[in-house]
Amino acid sequence: MATVADVVAWADRRYPPKLAEDWDAPGLSVGDPRRVVRHVRFAVDPTIAVAREAIAAGADMLITHHPLMLRGVTTVAANTAQGAVVHTLIGNGCALFAAHTNADAVDGGVAEALALAIGMNVEGPLVPVEPGSVDGTGRIGTIAPTSLREFAARVAAVLPATAGGVLFAGNPDGMVTSVAVVGGSGGSFIGDAVSSGVDAFVTADLRHHPATDAREAAALTDGKPYLVSVSHSASESLWLEGAAGELAQALDVTTSVSTLNTDPWTGHAPSTI
Ligand SMILES: [Zn+2]
């Protein structure tokens, strides 16, 4: 029978903590390592709804992509948002573990799941942890030639539905054959996408000024890379099924994946353009 400690050991082998960014806080945040685990739920965000859903599914352990507590916390009182999650989990005997930037970076991790889902032939990380490494931030690769308009539609089709959908910047009829992806907030990697020479860069949370600067610079050449902006949580959710399957193979536990959409935006009013 597996324990919380056994699942943690599996996760630390599969998603080595040394691959996490310095600012990150992956690992076990709630739970007793000695407790037996029969069912593990996977989700992107440890929201209260996700915690309740995991408990309703009979989970003894919840593995999320995002840590519940990333910065200094001085209280887990039940009338705070994070505290409510902690109390709900502890009260129902459910542990919480996060595999975050370490899960982004690994071979077969979050970035790779996104790349494969949108049909890329993956060549390697956009930013390897060291030259030649199979681990690192984002992925670059190729796709069968398609227009930017069709490529954005394909990305929208493979991601879970969100209110914001998918935005793109560039000539809709421009051709895309090479792509860089970074799951989640990849705005700080625009420069790497430009240097890699890809036709399109797919990521989430792109801010006005970096995106504008990149488009202005692209306009001086061939207009590339085009930018494709997706939902943060949706872009990371494609990893969950594979991770759940790997854990169920490795240990004597059953696994399942949250059905909740944790994108914070709930409505969309299209502009007339
Ligand atoms: Zn994220």
20 alpha carbon – ligand 1 mean position (Å): 13
Cis (ω within 30 of 0) for the bond into 172?
no
pLDDT score, position 24: 95
pLDDT score, position 272: 82
- Is residue 65 a known part of a binding site? yes
Beta strands in 118-188 (DSSP E): 121-124, 127-128, 136-137, 139-147, 167-169, 175-185
Q: Where are the domains of the chain?
A: 4-103+239-256, 110-235
pLDDT score, position 11: 98
pLDDT score, position 139: 98
pLDDT score, position 245: 98
- Is residue 24 a known part of a binding site? no
Is CATH 3.40.1390.30 the classification given to domain 110-235? yes
96 alpha carbon – ligand 1 mean position (Å): 17
pLDDT score, position 218: 96
Write down the CATH superfamily of domain 4-103+239-256: NIF3 (NGG1p interacting factor 3)-like (3.40.1390.30)
> Burial code of 92-105, b = ≥16 C-beta within 10 A, e = fewer?
eebbbbbbbbbbbb
pLDDT score, position 19: 95
263 alpha carbon – ligand 1 mean position (Å): 11
Chunked into runs of 10 residues, the chain (273 residues) has average pLDDT values of 97 97 96 98 98 98 97 94 98 98 95 97 96 95 98 98 96 98 96 97 97 96 97 97 98 98 94 81
127: nearest Cα among 207, 66, 182? 182
Two tokens, residue 236: 């990371």
- Residues 215 and 120: their CA atoms lie apart, in Å, by 23
